[in-house]
Chain A
Amino acid sequence: NAGVTQTPKFRVLKTGQSMTLLCAQDMNHEYMYWYRQDPGMGLRLIHYSVGEGTTAKGEVPDGYNVSRLKKQNFLLGLESAAPSQTSVYFCASSYFANSPLHFGNGTRLTVT
């Protein structure tokens, strides 16, 4: 049982480039989330989804887009990367709205 899988694990981008981070979960969870973690700060919610075909903004959504075309996948896109988006990105999922989140192992993104 893989749980929550994030790809890639590491990525270096130049300012202005675009990329997509993929999150896949095999637990049949309805809810999926994207967080970012920066030094000296807690994890902050970027976007989330309450089911296939739905997305919503979290605390820090600017500069990111998401899609949930399939229940098991949640994609995070950066259309024009900026150095401020250098961070570690975590995807998470949960079955119920108020149940503990299961996290992936993160993607370390550096934007130069």
Chain B
Amino acid sequence: DQQVKQNSPSLSVQEGRISILNCDYTNSMFDYFLWYKKYPAEGPTFLISISSIKDKNEDGRFTVFLNKSAKHLSLHIVPSQPGDSAVYFCAASELSQTGANNLFFGTGTRLTVIP
């Protein structure tokens, strides 16, 4: 069963407006959350992360919010730009016994920013 879920396969937003991408998780042991961005024919690239001890992390136009009680996180992009058009993956981390970073990924949301 999918432990990280992104229920919106796609999202279209006008340039300059806010984009909000959502993600839900089921495993309460997850303590580190990340967003990755992926362009076609490329690998995912890291965008922003948040630890479970925080409820918000900001990096320029990108802000991630974490609601642990609801097991929900969201990525806000303000203002949205055409170059932001990509697939966004939410991921959650559970450190394994060997200390490796076992990331569980959502299925992705395709964001289209309309000029």
| Contact A50 B100, CB 8 Å, known A42-B2, A43-B105, A102-B46 | yes
Interface 0/1 of A81-106, CB less than 8 Å to B: 00000000010101001111111111
Interface band, chain B? 20 to 34
Residues of B within 8 A of A (CB): 2, 4, 32, 34, 36, 41-46, 49, 89, 91, 93, 95-96, 98-108
Residues of B within 8 A of A105 (CB): 41-43
A50 to chain B, nearest CB (A): 5
Interface: A56 (CB within 8 A):
yes
Residues of A within 8 A of B (CB): 4, 31, 33, 35, 40-45, 48-50, 54, 56, 58-59, 90, 92, 94, 97-106
CB-CB nearest in chain B for A39? B107
